């Protein structure tokens, strides 16, 4: 039930009233042609790719020449007062020409750039070495940890002991946690007082 249709299916067959006839020249050209549809499509695709690549190369060359001329003109001739940017630069503020012509990119002063002057130093090798050693010693002294006060150490030990005893119920150690926070807070305040001086 339900697996078959309730009405028998009817088949429709279409017969062409007019036979399809091709001329003998068309049939001969189709039979003699070594190309298939796929090879024709591949050849066409290759031709399109060649034309696109040639056009892209032409555009790249033109843009490279344009960039070179713009860079040369911008580096050799600063813009005159009141002279605006070219219209294409004004249209696209993100273009390279707009970036290169920006006053933040290039210093348009008339002065020639001066080479950096060497700073003469009266320091000898030994004085520099001594200064380096002094700085190293200061850094080593900063690395040393100060001894933790006994009150902080005692609060830490009581907290650790409580947590070990109440390993399944750590919230029972709230008093030890508060005591430890208070001692560390005192230590932080002392550090801030010392650093503020």
pLDDT one-digit tens code per residue, 4-44: 666 767 777 777 677 777 788 887 887 777 777 788 888 99
**Do 75 and 69 form a contact (C-beta atoms < 8 A)?**
no
Tell me which H or E stretch contains 146: none
pLDDT given at position 113? 55
Task: Using pLDDT thresholds of 50, 70 and 90, give the confidence band for residue 99.
Answer: low
CA angle at 82 for the pair 76 and 83, rounded to the nearest 5°: 45
pLDDT one-digit tens code per residue, 140-190: 877 667 788 899 999 999 999 999 999 888 889 999 999 999 999 998 998
What does the alpha-carbon distance between residue 188 and residue 94 come to, in Å, rounded to a whole number? 52
Whether the model clears a pTM of 0.75, i.e. scores above it, the answer is no
pLDDT given at position 92? 67
Pinpoint the alpha helices (H) of 77-95.
87-91
pLDDT one-digit tens code per residue, 104-142: 555 555 555 555 555 556 678 888 889 999 988 888 877
State both tokens at 23. 């001329």
What does the alpha-carbon distance between residue 184 and residue 178 come to, in Å, rounded to a whole number? 10
């Amino acid at each position: 039930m339900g697996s078959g249709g309730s009405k028998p299916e009817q088949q429709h067959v279409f017969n062409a009233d007019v036979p399809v006839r091709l001329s003998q020249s068309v049939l001969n050209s189709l039979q003699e042609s070594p190309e298939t549809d796929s090879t024709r499509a591949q050849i066409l695709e290759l031709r399109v790719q060649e034309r696109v690549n040639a056009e892209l190369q032409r555009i790249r060359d033109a843009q490279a020449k344009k960039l070179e001329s713009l860079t040369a003109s911008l580096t050799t001739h600063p813009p005159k007062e009141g002279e605006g940017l070219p219209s294409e630069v004004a249209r696209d503020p993100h273009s390279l020409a707009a970036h290169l012509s920006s006053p933040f990119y290039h210093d348009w002063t008339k002065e020639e750039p001066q080479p950096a002057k060497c700073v003469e130093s009266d320091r000898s090798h030994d004085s520099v070495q001594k200064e380096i050693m002094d700085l190293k010693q200061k850094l080593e002294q900063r690395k040393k940890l100060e001894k933790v006060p006994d009150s902080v150490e005692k609060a830490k030990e009581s907290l650790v002991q409580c947590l070990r005893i109440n390993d399944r119920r750590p919230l029972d150690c709230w008093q030890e946690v508060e005591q430890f926070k208070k001692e560390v807070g005192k230590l932080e305040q002392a550090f801030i007082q010392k650093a503020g001086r």
